[in-house]
Amino acid sequence: MKQKIIYNISILVFAITFLHTSCRNNKTVQTFLLKDLAPVVMEYKGKEVFQYWEFENKPFLWGTVLGQVIAMKSYKDSLELELGTESFRQVVEKEASQNNSLDTLYSENGDLINAQLVHSGNVGKIRTINFLEAELLNYQLIRYPLLSHPTEFHGFILLHDSLNDVRVYFAASDQPWPPKPKVILESIKKDLKQGWKLKYHLHNHYEPKSRNYIGILAPSLADAQYYKFLSEDFDLENAIITNGFHTVEIESKEFSKFKAHGN
């Protein structure tokens, strides 16, 4: 009888501890909002902004439980209304597919060839957007809504193993393309000498209304050229592109497989 009581108490303590930890972790995820964290502003040039955040490397950053990405949710809801629920679902799923066998070997369209490399499953891995990627996209969508004012941003994500820290550089403007991040690259050069690693370069893709809005999860010719530069000069490990629903992750050893300006 005594052993049974001790056993029941142990189970109760475990359950309480688990619930406490779970609630604490959920609270952490829900309250970690980039828009509420004061960034280190490096430079403002008109509508162009160059800044970074630094925080502890926590597992939830790379998980698929998203925070309060209200601007991103508004974009998705509006898109579903615009396209219709079934069409919306089909377009999102099509862009996330990696089993397309369409032959573009002899195509002269480099962007199409790059898209086929990804969607055939030959290069890169498409997965659900993670917490940190969603926070960065949401941050930009608060600045400029994607449907009415589409833009792209740069996100340079660095890790420091011994400090267990993440540093995220962000460059964006009010234009469809991201600004040249000269001030950020100068800072990253110094970071690399201090033990940081350039783990990811992130940017977002979108499409016009005529192509159903959902961004292509593959690098353009310009993207592929830029990845080669970042790999050679800054030891970039992975390139990631998100459309707000899914993200394609491409290892540096695969960069040379893509068509790029100049080849």
Using one digit for the tens of pLDDT, what is the confidence trace for 158-200?
999 999 999 999 999 999 999 999 999 999 999 999 999 999 9
Q: pLDDT tier at 226 (50, 70, 90 boundaries)?
A: very high
pLDDT tops 70 at residue 88: yes
pLDDT bin (cut points 50, 70, 90) of residue 102 is: low
- 156 and 245 inside one domain: yes
Residues 147 and 27 in one domain: no
What was the pLDDT predicted at 19?
35
Other CB atoms closer than 10 Å to residue 232's CB: what's the count? 11
Q: Is the pLDDT of residue 36 over 70?
A: yes
**Residues 13 and 85 reside in one and the same domain:** no
The predicted pLDDT at position 67 comes to: 87
Looking at the structure of the chain, the number of domains it has is 2
In this structure, the answer to whether residues 60 and 182 fall within a common structural domain is: yes
Q: Using 50, 70 and 90 to split pLDDT, how confident is the model at 136? A: very high
Kindly state whether residues 2 and 81 are assigned to the same domain.
no
Q: Are residues 74 and 16 in the same domain?
A: no
Q: Is the pLDDT of residue 103 over 90?
A: no
Q: Is residue 263 part of a domain?
A: no
Tens-place pLDDT, residues 4-22: 444 444 444 333 333 333 3
Does residue 262 fall inside a structural domain?
no
For residue 252, with 0-12 CB atoms within 10 Å meaning exposed, 13-18 middle and 19 or more buried, which class applies?
middle
Contact of 158 with 166, CB cutoff 8 Å: yes
63 plus 166 within the same structural domain: yes
Average pLDDT over residues 143-168: 98
Say whether both 54 and 6 belong to one domain.
Answer: no
CA 237/CA 31 separation, integer angstroms: 29
Pair 139, 170: CB distance under 8 Å: yes
- The share of the chain scoring above pLDDT 90, in percent, equals 82
What value does the mean pLDDT of the chain take? 89
**What's the predicted TM-score (pTM) here?**
0.86
**Is 51 a domain residue?**
yes
Q: Which domain holds residue 218?
A: 39-257
Same domain assignment for residues 150 and 25: no
Q: Are residues 68 and 3 in the same domain?
A: no
Please report which helix (H) or strand (E) contains residue 162, including its range.
Answer: none
Query: Does 144 score more than 70 pLDDT?
Result: yes
Do the bridges between strand 197-204 and strand 153-160 make them parallel or antiparallel, or are there none, so unpaired?
antiparallel
